[in-house]
Amino acid sequence: MTIAGLKAQYALRGPVPQDVIEPIAFEPTAPGPGQVLVAVLAAPINPSDVLMLTGGYGILPQLPAVGGSEGVGRIVAVGDGVSHLSAGQTVLLPTGSGTWATHLVADAKRFVPLPPGADAQQLSMLTVNPATALLMLSEFVPLQPGDWVIQNVANSGVGGYLTQLARLRGLRTVNIVRREAAAAAVKADGGDVVLVDGDDLAVRVKDAIAGAPIRLGIDAVGGKATNRLATCVAEGGTVINYGLMSGEPCVVSPQSFVFNDLTLRGFWLAKWFRTAPREAQQALYGELTRLIATGQLKARVHATYPVERIKDAIAAAAAGERDGKILVVPAH
């Protein structure tokens, strides 16, 4: 059986991410022993994926490379010796396997079976953003139901998951956005308080939650936004940074850092993977898969694009003013 495939490939990096990537025709190979051939159903475009195209991410694949770090597919064929997977089964694609393609082949042991009948587009976003949100909520500060958490860029992919996960755990959230138009979507995710960022943020936060202490802040911006978040956190609290959307280093004033005994930590999911026991990884993704498959956890999808329109998809993902994730959805 001959299959006509397409893959979004780049052979160089540059400042305009959509300029370096092209849809390339290829013929998927039959799976060898211990391998599986999968038809990709959906694969998101994450900020980290765009940074790989520009050269700004912490880990860069060798070139030429196929873009895409996560996704969901349906098994087309299995190679000799594969007994735990079968044709027609929906699976989570291996992390970093080049998922912006119509098809891919990889070792069968790298695929994770998913519940039948669940939303493939929602499950395609499972690996990166919800895991990042859940770990930042659980790994740094012991929180109890009723506690407050504050985050900026609350309308982002991670931010939306964090708001929903916090609500499921009985936590309350202060959600900071950069424009008023983003507030409605955050409230729809279950955000308790939604405010637009600004120099008087600490005063407005204190008024909104009647002076309740906030022990955990989550920052994706860096620059002076880190300090604005830090001024909202209680004495001895923790701020976690997981992104630098401003392009600037985190700034924290002596008032917050020294006199308020602030702890500033960084989080990178790739590093967590390198050190976390396999049992912890299985528990994390078991919980997230259940929540997504049952509809308790979901993300907004702004638009979908076939592989043929990968340039348009990257341009849309790199632009601001979006209300949700951009997905690559191959036209099979």
- For residues 271, 273, 277, 281, the Cα torsion angle rounded to the nearest 10 degrees is 140
Strands 5-10 and 65-66: antiparallel
Q: At what angle do helices 157-168 and 129-138 cross, to 10 degrees?
A: 50
Q: Which segments of the chain are extended strands (E)?
A: 5-10, 21-26, 35-44, 65-66, 72-78, 90-92, 103-107, 112-113, 148-152, 172-177, 193-196, 214-219, 238-241, 263-266, 301-305, 325-328
d(CA 185, CA 164): 12
Say if CB 91 and CB 78 are below 8 A apart: no
Six-digit token string for 99: 């998922």
User: Minimal CA–CA distance to 151: which of 121, 113, 178, 123?
Assistant: 178
Active-site annotation holds for 305? no
Catalytic residue among 10, 57, 161, 242: 57
Annotated active-site positions, please?
57
